[in-house]
Structure 1
Amino acid sequence: MDNNLKKTPLYETHLKYGAKMIDFAGFAMPVQYESILKEHEAVRKSAGLFDVSHMGELIIEGKDSEKFINYIISNNIAKISDNQAMYSPMCYANGTTVDDLLVYKFSNEKYMLVVNASNIDKDYNWIFENKSGYNIAVKNISNEVSELALQGPKAQEILQKTTEYNLDDMKYYHFDKINLAGVNCLISRTGYTGEDGFEIFLRNDYAQSMWEKILAVGEEFGIKPAGLGARDTLRFEAGLPLYGNELSDEITPLEAGLGSFVKFEKAFIGRDALFKQKQDGLKRKIVGFEMIENGIPRHGYDVCAQGEKIGYVTTGYLSPTLKKNIGMALISSKFANIGNEISIIIRNKPLKAIVTSKNFYKKNYKK
């Protein structure tokens, strides 16, 4: 393990729990503890606890905050209330994606953006470059904040054991400041697994004790610490995009199937390019697929049809829940209809697959 990697406040705790550590976006992060499969199943059936402290948090404050955020993201932040969160892509002028992020609204004059670990500096610089003329201040608090994600059908029952706050009152994509086990935290009913769950933001010095506390109260429910491996298989089954796979500075939100998060009724960076792309019709799209012939598709594998290369696999796995070899791919739109046969090149051999919906697994969010 490279000694220059950044470490989250839970680094030593992960080693104590027997985690296998990897380099992820410049951080030493746990990819698995017991096994990806067992951690994946725990989240689908009970609960898993993830360290996601590598994610970035940027605070935007000032009287033009709402106006500015609406200018840099494609979704419409004016549509949400205080203590509500919203998902959105953030685009370059050419319509491709700087990042996809969550916006937490404290008030019209204060927001928090939760951004991908690999993009913290890039996002901060992009925001800084575009803020002239707006009365706002931008602060990167990523190094001061830890984030835990408790996910799964038993997540509420487990977390309820640490607080007097009635978690039943918290709606999906809402958040509140809550005292958990004697620690002031920001809790949101959000996540990245397709299951109900919570994300917990707290000061670094409390991260370790909170991790231990949640695992202790969750033990009777079958909770497991879960690593980035299960996080990826879970989000993938639920059809959720990962930056660097289904979204990038070469892929637009429309190509990724995220058109519902692009609001053309307002001005934002990339609007004109995306509007033109929509008018002209998409030349390529992210699709789901299932292997017909036996082989596991992997990120970067070529996709072919009618003897020509038509795209590449963005994510592929043997799905732990469905026990099928499935994937997502960015392919030419003319081959993107559900039911179309395509080939995935696995070890230099074309293996048959069929285009499906990207939603392999039905999400179980609390509405």
Structure 2
Amino acid sequence: MINKDFGFGTQIRKSPYFDSTVKWGATGFSVYNHMYIPRDFGNPEKNFWNLIEKAILCDVAVERQVEITGADAYEFIQILTPRDLSKLAIGQCKYVLITNNDGGILNDPVLLRLAENHFWLSLADSDILLWAQGVAINSGLDVKITEPDVSPLQLQGPISQEIMVKLFGEEIRNLKYYWLKECSLDGIPLIVSRTGWSSELGYEIYLRDSSRGNELYEKIMDAGNEHGIQPGHTSTIRRIEGGMLSYHADADINTNPFELGFDRLVNLDTDTKFIGKDALKKIKHNGIKRKQVGLIIDCNPLVGPNTTFWPVQINGKTIGKVTSAVYSPRLKKNIALAMVEITYSEIGSVLEVKTDNKNFLSQIVKIPFYDPKKNITKA
């Protein structure tokens, strides 16, 4: 019998899928956006193989939505992000950055445009609802900013489309990468998008009525049964293979977009006065002092991901830190994302990584580590 009372009190919210995830084997949870998120369905390596060979269903209700509506909603969204949104169509999604006045990254959400002046920011782990409401106060713009009753699931993996066809019909095959559509499943109101935090073919299913969470979870598991669907959690192995960021680990308020190679997400050639524009102009003009790189660490297979930032050194001098590291059973290598001084960031450079008790040689390599052109997700 699994104890459903995790002891954090009512200030940590349970997702609409909580009971179903426990029923299907979730035994470990962490906290993300003030909510429980399932982190343990057994062996994380098995979860990885389930993802890349079949499909997994992940409770990501912690990806809270900031809903922005009103006559000036589009203008307001463009103030929040340095990414050019002039070609963002209704029904389209975009990966964006939210920056502060110093050019630091506050969040890296997916932006969904549901209507002319109706947007969702699907958040990583930080309180952007409060930031957006604060920005709006003195903006002079006609906007309403709330957290709607919306809770996403991620259905990810190579057979995810066949499961979606069973649920929604053949037309779902026409949904393009980073586009969305409004759907209903047995009267359950949904938004479905071709997005996900896995670097695999997949979908996010946004529930718009939290009272039907467990019902929706069970319907998807039932539809995927013949295809070998498994309950799961977001895969650290696969997301590092794909070079995908985890906010608070690989990026934070002190990280700017250029350090991450996200120049394409920053449009400085515009009249829009987005937050952080002047700072980002200065950073681009002066050049960055550090850069995110990929590392192969030469040691025995890591047991789980790192839980602290490991120093990266050269000749005993600390020149950066490993932000995310894990053993990839597919690549049979220890792979890592690291932030290092720009002087030492060349591909092929040999550095040392200092783990909790030992130093190991590592080499800088190109990222992503696997499927660098993202052909899998775009298929």
TM-score, normalised with respect to structure 2: 0.91
Overall identity of the aligned pairs, in %: 29
Q: Given that residues 192 and 206 in structure 2 are in contact (C-alpha distance below 8 angstroms), is that contact kept between their aligned partners in structure 1? A: yes
Equivalent residue number for residue 289 of structure 2: 283
Q: CA deviation at 1:181?
A: 4.3
Report if aligned partners of 2:67, 2:146 keep a CA contact under 8 Å in 1: yes
Quote the residue 2:342 is aligned against. 333
The one-letter code sitting in structure 1 at the alignment partner of 2:68 is I
Residue 244 of structure 1 deviates from its aligned partner by: 0.4
Query: Is 1:311–2:320 an aligned residue pair?
Result: yes
Residues 1:125 and 2:134 are matched in the alignment = no
Q: 2:20 aligns with which of 13, 19, 31?
A: 13
Give 1:109-188 correspondences, 5 Å limit.
Answer: 109-116=117-124, 118-119=125-126, 122-131=127-136, 132-141=139-148, 144-164=149-169, 166-188=171-193
After TM superposition, what 4+ stretches of structure 1 lie above 6 angstroms from structure 2? none
Residue 75 of structure 2 is matched in structure 1 by 67
In the TM superposition, residue 179 of structure 1 has moved relative to its aligned partner by: 2.2
In structure 2, which of residues 251, 254, 262 is the aligned counterpart of residue 258 of structure 1?
Answer: 262
Q: Distance in 2 between matches of 1:341 and 1:272?
A: 36
State the one-letter code of the partner of 1:77: L
The answer on 1:101 being equivalent to 2:112 is no
8 Å contact from structure 1 (residues 165, 178) kept in 2: no
Aligned residues: 360
Q: SS state of the match for residue 130, structure 1?
A: helix
* Superimposed CA distance per residue, residues 126-179 of structure 1 (whole angstroms, 9 cap, x where no aligned partner): 1122122111111111xx222110001111101110123611211000000012
Q: CA RMSD in A?
A: 1.6
- Alignment of 1:199 onto 2:207: no
Match of 1:89 in 2: 97
What displacement does 1:21 show? 2.1
Deviation at 1:295, TM superposition (A): 6.0
How far apart, in 1, do the equivalents of 2:213 and 2:107 lie?
26
- 1:153–1:318 Cα change, 3 Å: same
Q: Does 1:300 align with 2:309?
A: yes
Could you tell me which amino acid in structure 2 is paired with residue 340 of structure 1? S
Gaps of 5+ in 1: none
Q: 2:84 aligns with which of 46, 58, 76?
A: 76
Aligned AA (1:222)? G
1:254, distance to aligned residue in structure 2 (A): 1.3
**Aligned-partner Cα distance in 1 for 2:314–2:13:** 43
Structure 1 length as normaliser, TM-score? 0.94
Name the residue aligned to 1:365: 377
